[in-house]
Amino acid sequence: MTNPTSSGRLSMRLGYRFNLVGMSALGIILLWAGIALFAPQIIPHSVGEIVDTDYFGPVSRDLWFGSDYLGRDIFSRILMGARYTLGISLAAVSIACFSGVALGMTAAVAGGWFDSMLSRFLDALNSIPSKLFGLVVVAAVGSSIPALIATLSVIYTPGAYRFARALAVNVNTMDFMVVARIRGERLPYLIASEILPNILGPVLADLGLRFVFIVLLLSGLSFLGLGVQPPYADWGALVRENIGGLPFGAPAVIFPSLAIASLTISVNLLIDNLPSRIRDRSAE
Amino acid sequence: MRGQVSSLVARRLIIALITLVIVSFAVFFATTLLPGDTATILLGQSATPEAVEGLRKAMHLDDPAIIRFLRWIAGLVQGDFGKSYANNVPVATLISGRFVNTMKLAGLTAVIAVPLALTLGITAAMWRGTLYDRIVTVGTIGIISVPEFMIATLAVLLFAVYLKWLPALSLTNEVKSLHDLVRIYAMPVMTLTFGVSAQMIRMTRAAVVETLNTPYVEMALLKGASRPRLVLRHALPNALGPIINAVALSLSYLLGGVIIVETIFNYPGVAKLMVDAVSTRDLPLIQTCAMIFCLGYLALITAADIIAVLSNPRLR
Amino acid sequence: MSDTTNWSCSDDAMIENAIRRGASRRDLLKLMLANGVAMAAAGTIFGRASEAVAATPVKGGALKAAAWSSSTADTLDPAKASLSTDYVRCCSFYNRLTFLDQTGVPQMELAESIESGDAKTWTIKLKKGVSFHNGKELGADDVIFSLKRHLDKATGSKVAAIASQMTDFKAVDKTTVEVTLASPNADLPTILSMHHFMIVADGTTDFSSGNGTGAFKCKQFTPGERSIGVRNPNYFKGGPNVDSFEFFAIPDENARINALLSGDIHLAASINPRSVRLLDGKDGFALSTTTSGTYTDLNIRMDMAPGNVSDFVEGMKYVVNREQIVKSALRGFGVVGNDQPVSPANVYHNAALKPKTFDPDKAKFHFQKAGVLGQTIEVITSEAPGSAIDMAMIIQASAAQIGMKLDMKRVPSDGYWSNYWLKAPIHFGNINPRPTPDILFSLLYKSDAPWNESRFVSEKFDKMLLEARGSLDQAKRREMYNEMQVLVSEQAGTIIPAYISNVDAITAKLKGLQPNPLGGMMGYAFAEYVWLTA
């Protein structure tokens, strides 16, 4: 069965459809980014204000997404939450994946002692329970958004490193790497021009997943006292604080969950649909 | 080749030992950085200076922390995990039952999640771009986007409260038959499977797709190999390294990261023990738990590294 | 225990109940104190007669109940007990000398009588023929050992401060103990009903076997996991109704209720008021509500800025919207508080002292006078003290209305009590019910009190406290406590917006549960009283 579409890049028709999926994913991400930027101007109610005497109230003309466990407007809280979820997660995932992947490729190419030492160090880092780690950070530097981003990055760097290194080690044994080495290319060139293009697909997929994990862990660390301070809340925290409404099917727990899902699915679909283009280029 | 693997294992064992020592010290310093000690935490609101002083003396906590830590290490070398500060019970007694529980849960989850995830990941890559692929992708991301506590709570609401098929709590002491075992483990295993499969599915798919684009696979394609054969014989062996690493990383989560599942299903495992130990600053217990997590992690990634080396002839 | 009521109620009925209970208690106390302070069996005459509905207990069944917190620090050492989980376990394995009945009156448990002529030297006569689970007979030595160990710092007792007034113990004979206090205290029988004063066997050092005189023998106890007790056939009160009692904690709120709904447990302790809607209109479930004087308070230290300016404190008292806190944060399961610790569930509550109403204008006036308007003031809040986060949100929103910026800083609940409570300039606290105003005031408001949350200093108050403690004149005592409540309410920096009700959810199969002023789950002692119907 030698269907030309099997390589996933020969068919224009399929390529177009991918782009459509990718475009809509990008559209949703940009929409959330816009909301994050202009949230303070567009929220109908103040984030902390109790506007409903009832709790877990239904969707209504005034409260578009219902009310939360205290009777606050969930719509406004989600719009403001976009700032924290989007901002912090993007920052943390960028730092974690950039450092993890850069170190992973370097370790794979350099090998030897550097590889061993770095791998052990990051293994050790990964073995410290994240709760203990979070508490230590609060105790040491106090609570702030930069501290939260730093903590999330540190927690997710070892995983990104390990995965990137595993990929890079395989590429490192390829013939073109041997050739490049013989040519006398230096380390930065090797990792940037030879390794990276060949592992980009899986690395980006890994980044997409790490983004999801960070979005979810963010609220957990906030509850430890690290990061977003009430009355503001990220989306994960909104789900968490309104989880009591789940048996009632309260909009207060459903809408933040949908917000998370829309963002994380969009990020991953976008990533899935990017590589075909990038790969097309790199193969030519 | 066998000699090569055994020398690799031997080298890894020594390295693992060194890593353990590093982790042990790191955890120790982290713990001492936290405000308060076992005496102040146990006394809580009643922690007046005299009361704390008295209790510290009674619990032998008045020695410097580093001395206590080194004493613990010395005991560990002789196979003694020490006694918990919080309740004066030997750590080995506290942990043994829970460790078995954690291993059972992790084992059952792994047995279900790994084949499931690999099958889904590989088939999605095989039929890349089809509706099937997209359903798997969106479904996977959709499921991990739902916080674990929500999946667990939804499962309980559905299967225990409304349908009344399964018990809401996983009380391990009530397992008397295979039927009980299935009833008790069904929901925790399902929740965890959702959580850990996603990473494996996505990474498997990505790694296989990546190798499908390499010249030698295209060569095989031109030679007229069928799609399943292409994936299973040509692409998969080369993608095995990253895949096995993703599996190892996902499974390592099952040891120490399952706190939410343990809490919601009231399942006594090691993760909850560790959280308790941190909040009571119970140094011997924290250390022992950290050692267990670290050992589990190292075992998994060492296995992953060895398989990766074996799978790639050029790395041998 | 044949006179127990089959009890369930909604929040309206609860308030009504409290008032009724209060009234009967007052009469009882008068009667009791007419005879000096001899309290032997006083309550049995009046205590439960009023609202009893005939219901015959059924024997048998395995009772399963879940509380909300448990850890490896769980203990069967009553002196160290710190969580409701510990209290429940201690109540099932041990007994106290006295206990409080549902009207708040001390009843004799292991004691036959507790008497004193001067409130300073007390004679405790023990019941005869009571034995520990290991067969040892209960004697004076056990009582002296059990009480005395609180004075030893190495014990780590939670009530060391209260126990320190007991200065001398003497075994008069095998079943009589004489306890001498440092200064007269008419409340001793009530103090001895606190859960930490459980009686253990003389010389016990290892408490893990739960060797007490209680209704259940300890079959299994794993800290942080569960305890299982089996019926004690030789129980001196005539055995519990159920065959066995399994107790553990499900910290996750939803999981606890779901376990009840699915039939895995019979009682889910301390559920969130918002979950009540889940049980509403569902057959087969009931609520048991207790307003026992638990409160979450906002503490403004008056020895440092900004609380050292009295106008700031005054402003804060007006900016706290108590009605809304009860309505939104507690969903009606609470009673509006008036900034003093003696709750309406207590006999000495000063009902004439009205709570401050929410008044933004007055608040603004005081803030302006204090010169803090426009500044940002940091308030420490955390998950640790009860409903502090929700209260903080409500107070912050009200303050924002008049341009007062409160920066609510959420800190980890881990280590909250040792790092922030009593230390931060403005922070939240959480106080569990104490049976007497004397304990509350000595612990929380005396100038040198260990937990003086707002650093309240008043010579007049200290003098009255001592005087009231030793006074046997009931009318005078009440008058003094009334005045002290006014002093605290007006001058201290502790804002007590509400007394919080505890709501336990139970299956309708569980009968015999009654509210108790010592706390939820029938003052934590429900296991020996309740029974299960088929």
Buried b (16+ CB within 10 A) or exposed e, A267-283: bbbbbbbbbbeebeeee
Q: How do C216-222 and C106-108 pair as beta strands?
A: unpaired
Residues paired with C503 in a beta bridge: C289
- H or E element: which one contains A46? none
Tens digits of residue pLDDT in A182-230: 888 888 888 888 889 888 888 998 899 899 999 988 878 877 777 788 8
Give the ranges where chain A is alpha helix by DSSP (H).
12-42, 74-110, 112-127, 130-141, 145-172, 175-183, 187-189, 196-224, 235-241, 251-273, 275-283
- Per-residue pLDDT averaged across A74-78, rounded? 95
| Residue in B closest to A206 by C-alpha | B203
* pTM value surpassing 0.80: yes
In angstroms, the separation between the Cα of residue C248 and the nearest Cα of chain A is 21
Q: Is residue A20 part of a domain?
A: no
Structure-token pair, residue C11: 């929040």
User: Which 3 state secondary structure label does DSSP give C378?
Assistant: strand
Do the Cβ atoms of C496 and C428 come closer than 8 Å? no
Structure-token pair, residue C96: 């106290």
pLDDT at residue A253 tops 70: yes
Tokens 């403005």: give the residue: C426
Considering only CA atoms, give the Rg of chain C. 23
pLDDT at residue A4 tops 60: no
In chain B, what percentage of residues exceed pLDDT 90? 19
Q: How many pairs of residues across A and C have Cβ atoms under 8 Å apart?
A: 67
Q: Which of C74, C224, C265 faces B273 most closely, judged by CB atoms?
A: C224
> What confidence score (pLDDT) does residue A18 get?
56
In angstroms, the separation between the Cα of residue C496 and the nearest Cα of chain B is 18
Q: Is residue A6 part of a domain?
A: no
Average pLDDT of chain B, as a whole number: 85
Structure-token pair, residue C197: 């004063």
In chain A, what percentage of residues exceed pLDDT 70? 90
- H or E element: which one contains B183? helix B178-212
Q: Is residue A187 part of a domain?
A: yes
Q: Which of C274, C331, C394 faces A50 most closely, judged by CB atoms?
A: C394
> What confidence score (pLDDT) does residue C26 get?
40
Give dist(CA A238, CA A31) in Å, integer: 20
Structure-token pair, residue B282: 């119970």
Q: Is the Cβ pair A272, B137 closer than 8 Å?
A: yes
Q: Tally Cβ neighbours within 10 Å of residue A99.
A: 16
Give dist(CA C169, CA C145) in Å, integer: 9
Q: Is the Cβ pair A257, B146 closer than 8 Å?
A: yes
Q: Is residue A22 part of a domain?
A: no
Residues paired with C114 in a beta bridge: C124
Which chain C positions have a beta carbon within 8 Å of B36's beta carbon?
Answer: 415, 418-419
How open is the CA angle B114-B117-B123, to the nearest 5 degrees? 135
Tokens 């933040």: give the residue: A256
Give dist(CA C466, CA C481) in Å, integer: 11
Q: Mind giving me the DSSP string for C224-241?
A: TTEEEEEE-TT-TT---S
Q: Is the Cβ pair C262, B47 closer than 8 Å?
A: no
Do the Cβ atoms of C486 and C350 come closer than 8 Å? yes
Tens digits of residue pLDDT in B27-74: 888 888 887 788 887 777 667 777 788 788 877 777 888 888 888 888
CB neighbour class for B60 (10 Å; exposed up to 12, middle 13-18, buried from 19): exposed
pLDDT: which is higher, B276 or B257 = B276
Structure-token pair, residue A218: 């963010």
Q: Which of C225, C263, C414 faces B279 most closely, judged by CB atoms?
A: C414
- Per-residue pLDDT averaged across B148-162, rounded? 91
Q: Mind giving me the DSSP string for A13-27?
A: HHHHHHHHHHHHHHH
Q: How confident is the model at residue A178 (pLDDT cuts 50, 70, 90)?
A: confident
Q: Which residues contact B25 (CB under 8 A, 6 or more apart)?
A: none
Considering only CA atoms, give the Rg of chain A. 22
Tens digits of residue pLDDT in A138-163: 888 888 899 999 999 999 999 899 88
Tens digits of residue pLDDT in C473-509: 888 999 999 999 999 999 999 999 999 998 999 999 9
Q: Tally Cβ neighbours within 10 Å of residue A111.
A: 12
Q: Is residue A179 part of a domain?
A: yes
The boundaries of the domain holding residue A210 are 33-271
Name the nearest CA neighbour of B87 among C415, C81, C150, C75: C75
Q: Is the Cβ pair C414, A224 closer than 8 Å?
A: yes
Give the ranges where C64-185 is alpha helix by DSSP (H).
84-93, 140-148, 160-163
| Total count of domains within chain A | 1
Do the Cβ atoms of C28 and C46 come closer than 8 Å? yes
Dump strand ranges (E) for C383-476. 405-411, 426-431
Q: How do C405-411 and C376-382 pair as beta strands?
A: parallel
Give dist(CA A249, CA A255) in Å, integer: 10
Q: Which of B47, B161, B169 faces C418 most closely, judged by CB atoms?
A: B47
Give dist(CA C416, CA C409) in Å, integer: 13
Tokens 């997404």: give the residue: A65
Do the Cβ atoms of C39 and C106 come closer than 8 Å? yes
Give dist(CA B79, CA A5) in Å, integer: 60
Give dist(CA B262, CA B260) in Å, integer: 5
Against chain C, the chains showing at least 3 CB pairs within 8 Å are A, B
Q: What is the ipTM of this complex?
A: 0.83
Structure-token pair, residue B65: 């922390």
Q: How confident is the model at residue A283 (pLDDT cuts 50, 70, 90)?
A: very low
- H or E element: which one contains B138? helix B131-145
Greatest alpha-carbon span in chain C: 70
Q: Which residues contact C209 (CB under 8 A, 6 or more apart)?
A: C76, C218, C221
The tens-digit pLDDT sequence of chain C (534 residues) is 333 222 333 333 333 333 334 434 443 333 333 333 333 332 222 323 333 344 788 899 999 999 988 888 889 999 988 888 999 999 999 999 999 888 788 899 999 999 998 889 999 999 999 999 999 999 999 999 999 999 998 888 888 888 999 999 999 999 999 999 999 998 899 999 999 999 999 999 999 999 999 999 999 999 888 999 999 999 999 889 999 999 999 988 889 999 999 999 999 998 888 888 888 777 889 888 888 789 999 999 999 989 999 999 999 999 999 999 999 899 889 999 999 999 988 888 999 999 999 999 999 999 999 999 888 999 999 888 888 999 999 999 999 989 899 999 888 887 788 788 889 999 999 988 888 899 999 889 999 887 899 999 999 999 999 999 888 788 899 999 999 999 999 999 999 999 999 899 999 999 999 888 888 898 899 999 999 997
How open is the CA angle C355-C357-C358, to the nearest 5 degrees? 140
Tens digits of residue pLDDT in A57-68: 899 988 999 999
Which chain A positions have a beta carbon within 8 Å of C410's beta carbon?
Answer: 143, 225, 229-230
Q: Is the Cβ pair B84, C80 closer than 8 Å?
A: no
Q: Which residues contact C432 (CB under 8 A, 6 or more apart)?
A: C294, C519
Which chain B positions have a beta carbon within 8 Å of A7's beta carbon?
Answer: 212-213, 218, 221
- H or E element: which one contains C427? strand C426-431
Cis peptide before A129 (omega within 30 of 0): no
> What confidence score (pLDDT) does residue B316 get?
61
The CATH number linked to A55 is 1.10.3720.10
Determine contact: B58 vs chain C, CB below 8 A: yes
From first CA to last CA, the distance across chain A in angstroms is 25
Give dist(CA C374, CA B70) in Å, integer: 53
From first CA to last CA, the distance across chain B in angstroms is 8
> What confidence score (pLDDT) does residue C301 get?
95
Q: What are the percentages of helix, strand and coil residues in chain B, rounded to 5? A: 80, 0, 20
Determine contact: B100 vs chain C, CB below 8 A: no
Q: Is residue A7 part of a domain?
A: no
Q: Is residue A15 part of a domain?
A: no
Do the Cβ atoms of C503 and C287 come closer than 8 Å? yes
Do the Cβ atoms of C244 and C229 come closer than 8 Å? yes
Against chain A, the chains showing at least 3 CB pairs within 8 Å are B, C
Give dist(CA A6, CA B130) in Å, integer: 10
How far CA A16 is from CA of A20, A283, B127, B133, in Å, comes to 6, 19, 17, 17
Q: Is residue A76 part of a domain?
A: yes
Cis peptide before C306 (omega within 30 of 0): yes
Query: Rounded to an integer, what is the distance from CA A221 to the centroid of its chain?
Result: 15
DSSP B83: B
In angstroms, the separation between the Cα of residue A32 and the nearest Cα of chain C is 26
Tokens 């106290």: give the residue: C96
Give dist(CA C60, CA B53) in Å, integer: 47
Tokens 């790395």: give the residue: B315
Min mean pLDDT across A39-48, B254-263, C118-127, C172-181 is at B254-263
Q: Is the Cβ pair A212, B144 closer than 8 Å?
A: yes
CB neighbour class for C260 (10 Å; exposed up to 12, middle 13-18, buried from 19): buried
Name the nearest CA neighbour of C354 among C337, C372, C334: C337
Greatest alpha-carbon span in chain A: 74
Name the nearest CA neighbour of C521 among C105, C66, C18: C66
Q: Is the Cβ pair C410, A135 closer than 8 Å?
A: no
Which chain B positions have a beta carbon within 8 Å of A215's beta carbon?
Answer: 145
User: Which 3 state secondary structure label does DSSP give C352?
Assistant: coil
Q: How confident is the model at residue A276 (pLDDT cuts 50, 70, 90)?
A: low
Q: Is the Cβ pair B86, C71 closer than 8 Å?
A: yes
